[in-house]
Chains A and B, each alone.
Chain A
C-alpha cells in the first residue's frame, strides 16, 4: 500500500508544480470562490462557569453551580429523590465518592457494576476532569476514573466538576492533554455535550436514545476538601 501511495504522489509532482506556479502568479487578490457572506459573530462576555452553564442548557442539559461539596450532595440527593432512584452506578472518581457519601442516598449504590447490573441502574454519578465553557462539554478520562459507563448506560447522569477545571475553549483542554506528553494520554477520553440525542426520524429531535435522557452537571466553586 505504501508503494502505491508513494507512486501516486510522485506522479502528482509535476501537476503540483504547475498549481504552485499559477498561485504564485495569480496575485489578483484573495480567493473568493469558496467564501460565504460575512456574518456577525456571537461574542460571550462573562466567566467560564457562566458560559458553561449557558452552553449546556442550550443543549438540554441542566447545570447547578454550588459553593461546596456539601451543597453538591444536596443537589444530588434532590435529583435521586425526584427520580425515585433505586440503583445508582458510580465511577471511582474521588470527588464523586465524597459527594455521594455526603448525600447518603437511600438507593443501592454500585461502585463496580457488571454490565448486566449496569443496565438496571437508573442513575449514574461521575466526576469530570474538565468542563469546556464554549460548548458546555464534559471531559472524562480513563486515567482519572474507572467504570465510566455510569455516564452512559443509566437514564440519567449526574456529573461533578470543579469550577477551576472549567476552561473557556476545547482548544485549551486539548492543549493541556497534549502537554502531558507521551504516557499522559488516557486510553479513553470522552467528550460529553448534553444528553444523548437523535434526529434520525424526520429530523425531529428525540432525547435519550442509547445514552442518558437527562444530564445534570454540578459545578463546585469552592476548594475540594479531600
Chain B
C-alpha cells in the first residue's frame, strides 16, 4: 500500500472501496451511531433550540476570542494552573517536551486528545526518547499497531475484533480470543501498571470555561480521570477555540455533545478541573499546565464562513452521517481529521495545496450540516474552499506550500460554458451539434459504456458511463417545442 496522504485521496479511496472488511465496519458505524443518535436526540425537548443556543455561545466567543481567552487564562492561573501559549504545533510540542524534561520525568500516560494527534505530539516525544502511553482503548490499539486514528471518536473503528485479537497476541502476549470483554480486560490489566507509575499525564480539553478557568474532559472509560488524577503533573493541550464564556453554558454543550457523538445522554465521566489542589493532603496533581494552541486557528477568524470551523466540538456526527465517509472511511482523507469536518479544517490547518482534493470529496448533500450540533454549514465551507482552490486565494496557507495547483482544462471548460451559455443562440447551437454527434454512442435509447478514443477525448463521459448509462439528448429541447407552439393553451 502507498503512503496515504490528502494528496492521494482518490487513490486512497479506491483502495478503501476494495476493502470488504472496512466497508462492513463502516456500515456498522453508520447504522449503530446513526440510530443511537436519533434515539438520544428524541430525549430532549427542544433539540433545535439547543443547537441555536450552542451556536450563539460559540459565535459570541469567537467574535471576542481575545477577550475570552484572556479571561480564561487569568482565571485558570488564579486557581493555580500555569498557562502556556503554542503558536503552532511545533511550539506546543516543544512546550510539552520541556515541561516533562524539567521534571526529570520519563513515564508519561496520555488520554485521548485530537489536539495532540493534530500536532503529532507522540512523534515529537518519541523522537526525544520518551515513550508516552495512550490509555484510551481505541488509541492504545492504534498505538500498538503503529497506525493513525480513522475516526475522531472511535479511532480504531476500521479494525476488526479479530485483527485486534491478533495484535494483542503479538504485542502483549495474550491468547487470541473472540471475546471483547477479554480483550478489554487485558487492556485494563496492562495499562493499570502504567497508571500506577506515571509521572506526567497528558490530556486534551473539551471545553474551557472563561468565567472560572475550568477545563472539562469527557470520556467513557475512566482513563482520562486516571490520567488527570494520578500523575504528579497534568498537562492539558487545548485548542484556543475550546473556550466558552460561562460555566452554565456547559449545560447546553453537555446535552449536545454525547448525544451527537455516541448517542449517549451523557458519557460515563466528565471531569471539571479548576486549577490545582488547595491543600497538600488532597489528591490530584500538584501542577496543572494548560497549553493553549493556535496552530492555524486564528487565521480562520478572518471570515465568517471559515470562522464557523472553530465552532466544532469534535462530536464526529458528520463523519457518521456522511455518505462519502461511510464508503471510504477515515484513512482515505490522509489527515488527522477525516470526514466532512476534516475536509474543511485540514486544508485550513495544513494548507490548501496538499489538501486541495478534500473540499471536492463531497457530494454536497448536506447531511453533515443537518446533524451538526452547532450548525456548522459545512457545504458552505466546502464551496468557499473550492473557490479558494480555483482562485488560488487561500489566505495565509499559500505562503507555506506555494500556490494550489490549477487545472487549466477544467478552467477552460467552465470559462467556455459561462460564455457560450450566456447566449441563447450558442446554447441552442451547442445542443444541436451535440444531438448530431451523439448518434455515435446512443444505442437503444441510451449511452452505454464509452471506451477508446472518445473516452480519452471526454474523460467525464467515460467516468460516468463506466458504471452508469447516460441519457441521450432529446430530439427537440423544451425551448424548441415551446417555440414550435406545442404548449399553446388549448393544445
Contact = CB atoms under 8 A, between A and B. Distances in A.
State yes or no: do A and B touch (Cβ within 8 Å): yes
Interface of A: 1-2, 4-6, 8-9, 11-12, 15-16, 19, 33-36, 39-42, 55, 59, 115-116, 119, 134-135, 137, 142, 146-149, 152-153, 169-171, 174-175, 177-178, 185-204, 206, 208-212
A187 B274 CA distance: 5
A206 B180 contact: yes
Contacts of B25: 202
Interface in B177-228: 180-181, 183-184, 187-188, 191-192, 195-196, 212, 214, 220-223, 225-226
Contacts of A135: 265-266
Given A4-B294, A178-B248, A185-B214, A137 B266 contact: yes
Given A187-B282, A189-B271, A191-B270, 19 more contacts: A2-B69, A5-B65, A15-B303, A33-B377, A39-B41, A40-B42, A42-B43, A149-B229, A152-B225, A192-B269, A196-B220, A198-B138, A199-B262, A200-B138, A201-B141, A201-B184, A203-B154, A210-B195, A210-B225
A116 B375 CA distance: 47
B180 A211 contact: no
A25 to B, nearest CB: 16
Contacts of B377: 33-34
Given A137-B266, A188-B271, A196-B222, A206 B87 contact: no
Q: Which of A1, A185, A190, A210 has the most CB of B within 10 A?
A: A210
B278 A34 contact: no
A90 to B, nearest CB: 13
A36 B42 contact: no
Contacts of A34: 51, 369-370, 372, 375, 377
Contacts of A15: 303-305
Interface stretch (B27-35, B340-348, B416-424): B27-35
A142 B271 CA distance: 11
> DSSP majority for the A interface?
loop
A163 B163 CA distance: 47
* Nearest 4 CB-CB pairings of A with B: A211-B222, A200-B138, A210-B222, A8-B301
B6 to A, nearest CB: 24
A171 to B, nearest CB: 4
21 contacts: A1-B85, A2-B69, A4-B294, A5-B69, A8-B300, A12-B301, A142-B284, A146-B283, A149-B283, A174-B250, A185-B212, A190-B271, A191-B266, A192-B268, A198-B221, A200-B154, A201-B180, A203-B28, A206-B181, A209-B222, A210-B221
B298 A187 contact: no
B222 A115 contact: no
Given A115-B230, A147-B283, A187-B275, A209 B251 contact: no
B144 to A, nearest CB: 13
Interface string B268-300: 111111111110011110000000101000111
A193 B221 contact: no
A201 B156 contact: yes
Contact of B284 (A40, A187, A200): A187
Contact of B28 (A4, A42, A200, A202): A202
Interface string B352-372: 000000000000001001111
Contact of B221 (A4, A177, A196): A196
Contact of A211 (B29, B155, B221, B370): B221
Contacts of A152: 222, 225-226, 229
A5 B301 contact: yes
A11 B307 CA distance: 12
Nearest to A20: B304
A212 B377 CA distance: 40
Given A148-B283, A174-B250, A185-B214, A198 B137 contact: yes
Given A8-B298, A187-B278, A174 B251 contact: yes
Contacts of B264: 59, 193
Contact of A209 (B221, B282, B369): B221
Interface string B299-327: 11111110100000000000000000000
Contacts of A116: 196
Nearest to A209: B221
A199 B272 CA distance: 23
Contact of B268 (A36, A171, A177, A193): A193
A16 B305 CA distance: 9
Interface in B429-465: none
